Amino acid sequence: MAKIKVGIINVTGYAGVELARLLYDHPRVELVSVTGRSAIGQPLAEVFPHLAPLKLTITAELGKVDLAFSALPHKASAEAVAEALGQGVKAIDISADFRFKDPVMYQKWYDFKHPAPGLLSEAVYGLPELHRSAVALARLVANPGCYPTSAVLALAPAVKAGLVGSDIIVDSKSGISGAGRTLSLTTHFSEANENVAAYALEGHRHLPEITQELERLAGHTLSVTFVPHLVPMTRGILSTCYAPLVAGKLATGEKGVKELMGLYHDFYGGEPFVRVVDAPPQTKQTWGNNLCLVYPTIDLRTGRLIVVSCLDNLVKGAAGQAIQNMNLMLGLPESMGLKGLPIYP
């Protein structure tokens, strides 16, 4: 059976290179084209020696493919995706360029005028656990951000069941690869090593994305506080989410904790990449894998929901989730090419 041909627009970023690594072992898909603005004409093996078995050269043009992943920065990604769609190619955008329906959001949060606003209504938000059937029918999927994936998966069952009030706090820690490959003082080794720093307290770009998805589930407006932190590790996101419980929705005491755990198991029952666990998870337990681990509990002293989630920001938070969406769009088994176990330690 002939393999489906796919390409990566901008393979030279962390998400792009992770896509190439994961696609190499996919049994039904062949990566035939990789572009990269800073390395045109170079063998992929020269830029990333570990990808030598792919035997590809970085080009300026995508070429003939059935589906394209765009890992370009925002705005540039929208332009490339619009061009691909115009050529009859399905597209998965890993940037933020199609995650919102309102073009005003891009001006407000990303400081650019959207170059293809007519495509926003068509784009499907690519969190399969919430939008699986729509993803399967889509020709354009907006791959979620890494922080929103961890936060929304942590809170979705409780929010949908109406267990929590409107005031939600999301506290997230991310490895440095989440900032991308572009050099900056903040991610310089001497600055980041042996250091933990909160940032974007005035409003991170992923905040409206988290709010959008949770409000869809809740059916009403929510007040969400999101504080991200940079920690000195390469990969991983750990989110701890807090919200007051609505009185009477769950039993009191330990019985309520068991009911909550049962609710989460029911919500994610059968999901290939969300695992509800019995103890607070750790980022190393998802390293290199497409899993999101979720641990819900209740602070019995305060009546507050606490949910801890963790994932690999480059896999379930980016490239792995993109391949999960690709599988759905192409009618392939959702977990195909993504069954590898986490790397430990």
* Tens digits of residue pLDDT in 108-119: 999 999 999 999
DSSP 72: P
Do residues 154 and 298 both lie within one domain? yes
**279 lies in some domain:** yes
Q: Tell me what pLDDT residue 183 has.
A: 87
Q: Which residue stretches of the chain have pLDDT < 70?
A: none
Q: Indicate the pTM of the whole model.
A: 0.97
Identify the domain containing residue 41 by its residue range: 4-122
Contact 151, 170 (CB under 8 A): yes
Whether residue 151 is found in the same domain as residue 278: yes
Q: Are residues 118 and 151 in the same domain?
A: no
In a domain, 16, yes or no: yes
Nearest Cα neighbor of 61 from 87, 34, 90 is 34
Does residue 286 share a domain with residue 171?
yes
Do residues 209 and 114 share a domain?
Answer: no
Considering only CA atoms, give the Rg of the chain.
20
Decide if 328 is inside a domain: no
Residues 182 and 300 in one domain: yes
168 and 281 together in one domain: yes
> Is 89 found in the same domain as 43?
yes
User: Within a domain: residue 23?
Assistant: yes
Which residues are registered as beta bridge partners of 67? 6, 90
Same domain, 98 and 171: no
Tell me if 33 sits within 8 A of 16, measured CB to CB: no
In whole angstroms, give the CA distance from residue 339 to residue 276: 17
The reply to whether 332 falls in a domain is: no
Check the CA dihedral 14-17-20-21 and report its sign. Answer: negative
Sequence-distant (6+) residues with CB within 8 A of 1 are 28
The catalytic residue among 146, 241, 292, 310 is 146
Distance between first and last Cα of the chain: 38
- Residue ending a domain, among 122, 157, 175, is 122
Query: Based on the structure, what is the number of domains in the chain?
Result: 2
Domain assignment present for residue 74? The answer is yes
DSSP state string for 86-136: HTT-EEEE-SSTTS-S-THHHHHHT-S--S-GGGTTT-EE--HHHHHHHHH
| pLDDT at res. 1 | 82
With respect to residue 344, please indicate whether it lies within any of the assigned structural domains.
no
The reply to whether 40 and 113 lie within a common domain is yes
**Alpha-carbon distance values, 282 to 67, 149, 262, 274 (Å):** 34, 16, 21, 14
Domain membership of residue 238 (yes or no) is yes
63: domain CATH number is: 3.40.50.720
* Residues 113 and 232 occupy one common structural domain: no
Among residues 181, 172, 176, 171, which one has the least CA distance to residue 192?
A: 176
Does the annotation mark 146 as catalytic? yes
The verdict on 110 and 190 lying in the same domain is no
Q: Give the pLDDT score at 37.
A: 87
CATH code of the domain in which 199 resides = 3.30.360.10
Helix, coil or strand: residue 171: strand
